[in-house]
């Protein structure tokens, strides 16, 4: 029996990295999937890698109307699972970090997650469905030079736990994954300009040998949390980080 036979699932950030791996993983489990991202060409590439043809729905997480339109398109016949994976990383010395960049990171990583959850919740109440958000180890610790991103992911953790409490009695589960370092385009961008003390940035290396994660390692946790196997889990933050936060 496949994990998601007949389940209707919306996955954002699916043009790349963790979102793409999650879409590919869920497609092997019989899901009817809508994939959303600002990068339409990347969505088309992802669709070609999936075992079941998804609905492709470009959207811009900067725009709340676009978030609502994405959910409307995905939920035409109901919705069982929302996986919020779209995100951006911008970091650099705090003295010179542009407030406009701070606000952009918060809008893409945090405000859009709330907007998408808000639009999806009426459907998820109907289906007794669930939400899996993408936080980060940056949601659980301070990171030098990474204040905007870390604040945005602390916000995702707060959204996750608060919604879990608010909607538990209506049968909706809400959880988040906190990945550590994952090999994706996001972590291959060049370091920021300016004076960066790398000893402050690299304080929590993975403890496992080859402890950096692949996108597929995170997709596996999405599959577990979104499935019936996790029926007793809500309001939880699951770290998948090769032991980065172990100490
Ligand atoms: N890679 C890591 O080490 C790591 C660690 C912890 C958490 N995360 C989180 O995992 C998620 C996926 O990141 P990834 O590593 O796969 O990076 P990625 O850059 O490969 O994927 C991010 C996706 O988000 C999309 N996106 C960006 N801005 C958007 C917008 N305005 N509207 C819609 N989509 C937009 C991008 O087009 C891209 O497809 C993000 O939320 C990220 O913060 C990543």
- State if residue 20 touches ligand 1 by the CB under 6 angstroms criterion: no
- State if residue 46 touches ligand 1 by the CB under 6 angstroms criterion: no
Taking alpha carbons only, the member of 197, 188, 85 closest to residue 146 is 197
State pTM to two decimals.
0.98
- pLDDT tens column, 141-158: 999 999 999 999 999 999
- Judged against a pLDDT cut of 90, whether residue 115 lies above it is answered with yes
Dist. CA 195–CA 71, nearest whole Å: 42
- State if residue 240 touches ligand 1 by the CB under 6 angstroms criterion: no
237 secondary structure, DSSP code: E
Asked if 145 is an active-site residue, the reply is no
Residue 177, beta-bridge partner list: 134, 238
Mutate to test the pocket of ligand 1, among 10, 14, 18 (most ligand atoms within 8 A of CB): 18
Q: What is the pLDDT of residue 192?
A: 87
Buried b (16+ CB within 10 A) or exposed e, 35-59: bbbbeeebbeebbeebeeebbbbbb
Instruction: State in Å: Cα 3 to ligand 1 middle.
Output: 25
Instruction: State in Å: Cα 186 to ligand 1 middle.
Output: 6
Strands 8-12, 32-37: parallel, antiparallel or unpaired by DSSP?
A: parallel
Mutate to test the pocket of ligand 1, among 12, 13, 91, 132 (most ligand atoms within 8 A of CB): 13
Matching residue, tokens 């970091």: 91
Q: What is the pLDDT of residue 202?
A: 85
Q: What is the chain's Cα-based Rg? A: 17
Instruction: State in Å: Cα 210 to ligand 1 middle.
Output: 22
List 59, 114, 149, 167, catalytic entry: 149
Q: What is the pLDDT of residue 191?
A: 84
Tell me the backbone φ, ψ of residue 242, rounded to 5 degrees: 60, 20
- Judged against a pLDDT cut of 90, whether residue 11 lies above it is answered with yes
Dist. CA 172–CA 82, nearest whole Å: 11
Distance of CA 177 to the CA centre of its chain: 8
Nearest CA to ligand 1 atom 26: 86
Q: What is the pLDDT of residue 189?
A: 87
What residue ranges in the chain does DSSP mark as E strands?
8-12, 32-37, 55-58, 81-84, 130-134, 173-179, 237-240
Task: Categorize the per-residue pLDDT at 64 as very low, low, confident or very high, splitting at 50, 70 and 90.
Answer: very high
What is the average pLDDT across 113-123? 99
Dist. CA 8–CA 87, nearest whole Å: 22
Domains observed in the chain:
8-246 (3.40.50.720)
Residue 134's SS3 state is strand
């Amino acid at each position: 029996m496949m994990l998601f036979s007949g389940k209707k699932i919306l996955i954002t950030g699916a043009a790349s990295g963790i979102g793409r791996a999650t879409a590919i993983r869920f497609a092997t489990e019989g899901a009817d999937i809508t994939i959303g991202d600002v990068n339409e060409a990347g969505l088309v590439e992802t669709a070609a890698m999936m075992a079941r043809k998804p609905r492709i729905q470009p959207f811009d997480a900067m725009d709340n109307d676009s978030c609502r339109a994405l959910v409307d398109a995905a939920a035409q016949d109901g919705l069982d699972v929302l996986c919020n994976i779209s995100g951006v990383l911008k970091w650099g010395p705090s003295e010179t970090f542009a407030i406009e960049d701070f606000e952009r990171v918060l809008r893409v990583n945090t405000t859009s997650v709330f907007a998408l959850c808000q639009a999806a919740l009426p459907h998820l109440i109907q289906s007794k469905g669930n939400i899996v958000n993408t936080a980060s180890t940056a949601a659980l610790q301070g990171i030098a030079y990474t204040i905007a991103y870390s604040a945005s992911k602390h916000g995702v953790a707060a959204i996750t736990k608060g919604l879990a409490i608010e909607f538990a009695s209506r049968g909706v589960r809400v959880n988040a994954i906190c990945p550590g370092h994952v090999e994706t385009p996001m972590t291959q961008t060049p370091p920021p300009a300016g004076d960066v003390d790398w000893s402050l940035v690299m304080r929590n290396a993975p403890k496992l040998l080859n402890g950096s994660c692949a996108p597929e390692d995170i997709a596996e946790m999405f599959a577990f949390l979104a499935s019936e196997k996790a029926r007793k889990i809500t309001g939880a933050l699951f770290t998948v980080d090769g032991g980065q936060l172990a100490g």
